[in-house]
Structures are given as structure tokens and as C-alpha cells.
Amino acid sequence: MAGQAGAGERHPILASDRQDWTVEVVSNDLDYPWDITRDGGTLYITEAAGSVLRVVEGDLTRMPLSTSRPIYREGGRGLLGMALSPTFAQDATGYFYHSEEEADGSSNRVIAARFDGEAWQETRVLIDRIPGHRLYNGGRLGFGPDGMLYITTGWTEDRQRPQDPESLAGKILRIAPDGAIPADNPRAGSPVWSLGHRNPQGLAWSPDGALYAVEHGQSAHDEINLIMPGGNYGWPIIQGDEQRAGMTAPWVHSGRRTWAPSGAAFSGPELLIAALGAEGLFVVDEAAGTLKPVVSTGERYRDVEAVGADLWVITTNRSPRGEGPSADRLLRLTLD
């Protein structure tokens, strides 16, 4: 799944240069893809309008996802994150984050769906009424080493919600695969795992089980955070190097530059970040406290997945603020 290292030989990505990488265009026929995840060597990609792509040895098949409420596709809304069950080989179950239209705007929900080999069919709603927004919905899903499902949500441009423990907006949530709230969550009966987030769109677990989240800042000050249960990551009260009692400053941040980071994944011990605004794939240079460019093709990189020694990247080349076609691609990156 996205956020977990794949099997196979690893190379020191931080020591590589851009010219060391070969970029193969696997497909230029993607329609605003948002998440890339995997089951062994098979890749699955969500498209915001509601389709799921399966990629086997470079061949793409577009499959429908049937949901009990229509997927609301507009701006940054739509079918966003996906995670496969840790026992996918046995239960053929995937988990999806999607927007739905409401009388007063929109909300988001997380559903389980079963795959029959040709299509996906919703089987359960795990959590709904997550506040929605045209741009700020979070949307990433990932199963942690503990077998629990983690969910990122956006702040919806409401300065009260990220700090409100009763609101689901501006949070990282943690629930069981059946939607139940784990007994060891920070607050009894609450799915909130951490708060004070703006628009987190990436989750990744290190080989030793530490959880990292990446999120968009207001104007620059993008963040990578080491997530602890019950942690308060400060938005909208602090950003960058600012300090406040009871709040955690980011592990790494962009300062006055803009990365617009989205997806994240570990390749062995190295944390990779797919960046929209900075248009490329980056690796965290922990010693320098910054990101080092890996590859750029002049496109907005949405998500990354490591499969063996290869890195797979999806692009979403139209901003959610824009309209019209996006001309998106699936790329395979190989270190020569």
C-alpha cells in the first residue's frame, strides 16, 4: 500500500542525481489520478471522477466503483484516497475516501468495497459526514502496522475546526477496518488520532513503524510531521518554526518556499514526497532538514509508490482551481 516500503533491492536515492534516473511513460491516458497503491506487483490507481485503474505489467484496465451515494466530482472533490485491506488476497476488500454533495455544500466519507475482478462494489460505510470543501479535503488513507485505518482530513478553510477535538476536519483519524473506534485512541469514543492539521495529503510509515504525514501550508510553510497519538500540530495557530505550549512544530518544513506536497512513501529507510507545486519527486534529506530533488518532468506529481527497485508516480497536471482536461500520466522511474 502507499506509505509502506516494497520488497526488493534498494538503492541510496539520496546519493543519486537526476541524470541517474530513467523515466518511462507507462500511460498518458489518466483522468486526474489521486492515489496509487499496490498488491504485490499489481498497482491500483483512483481517478477523481470515480474509476479505479488496475495496472499489471504496464497494462491498464479501468474499472467502475459503485457507491451508495454518488461521488461528487468538482474542484478538489471526488474519489481521492484508496487503501487495500492487509488481507486483500483473502477478502478482496479496498477502502476509499470520496466526496458527496450535500444541501449546504459537500462532505466526505470512507467506504469499504469488494472487488470481483472486474468492478468494485461498496459494502459498508465506515465513517461519513467528514466536513468537505472545494479545495481542502485531505483524503489520504493508509493501514498502519497496527492494522488500523488512518485517514487525513482537510481544514475546510475554517479556522476553528482544526483545533476543535469534536470536529473531524483538520485531523488524522484512526479507525478499525470495520469502522469501530479503537479502545486505545487518545480520546475514548473519538476517531481523532491527531489534530491541528491544515490539508494533509500524505501518510507513510517508516520501516520501524513511525508515522509521517505531509501537508500543504497556507502560503508556503508546507510540512512533514512525525505523528504521535493525541499530538496537536498547531494549525492555524503556529506554522514553520513558531512555538506554542502543547503544540508540535513540524519535523521538516518548506519555509517561505512552496512544495505543495501530496503523496508520500518509504523506499527502504528513505522518505519520498510527491510534490505538486514544486513539480517533482523528492527525497527527505534529514541531516539538512529539507527535500532533495530526485526526478522532475515539469509536471505536478500527486503520489508515489515503491515497487521493488522501481518508483511509480502519478501526475495531476491541472490545479483543482482550474477547469478542463488535465493531461495526466503514469510514470515508472528506474535508477540506472
Q: Is residue 1 part of a domain?
A: no
What's the one-letter identity of residue 314?
Answer: I
Q: pLDDT for 85-97, tens place per residue?
A: 999 999 999 999 9
50: pLDDT strictly greater than 70: yes
Q: What is the C-alpha to C-alpha distance for residues 302 and 264, in angstroms, rounded to an integer?
A: 9
**Does a structural domain hold residue 7?**
no
> What does DSSP assign to residue 5?
P
* Degrees, nearest 5: CA angle 110-111-115: 140
The number of domains in the chain is 1
Which amino acid, residue 324?
G
pLDDT digits (tens, 9 = 90+) for 51-90: 999 999 999 999 999 999 999 999 999 999 999 999 999 9
Per-residue model confidence as pLDDT tens digits over 125-148:
999 999 999 999 999 999 999 999
* pLDDT per position as a tens digit, 168-225: 999 999 999 999 999 999 999 999 999 999 999 999 999 999 999 999 999 899 999 9
This prediction has a pTM of: 0.96
In a domain, 96, yes or no: yes
Going by their DSSP bridges, the two strands 120-131 and 59-66 should be labelled as: parallel
Mean pLDDT over residues 271-290, rounded? 96
**Domain annotation covers residue 271:** yes
Do 2 and 263 contact (CB within 8 A), yes or no?
yes
CATH of the domain at 287: 2.120.10.30
Is residue 81 included in any domain, yes or no? yes
Is position 305 within any domain? yes
70 within domain boundaries: yes
Q: Output 4 or 154, whichever has higher pLDDT.
A: 154
Contacts of 18 (CB under 8 A, 6+ apart): 293, 294, 295, 296
Range of the domain at 150: 13-335
pLDDT at 220: 94
Inside any domain, residue 293: yes
pLDDT tier for residue 4 given thresholds of 50, 70 and 90: very low
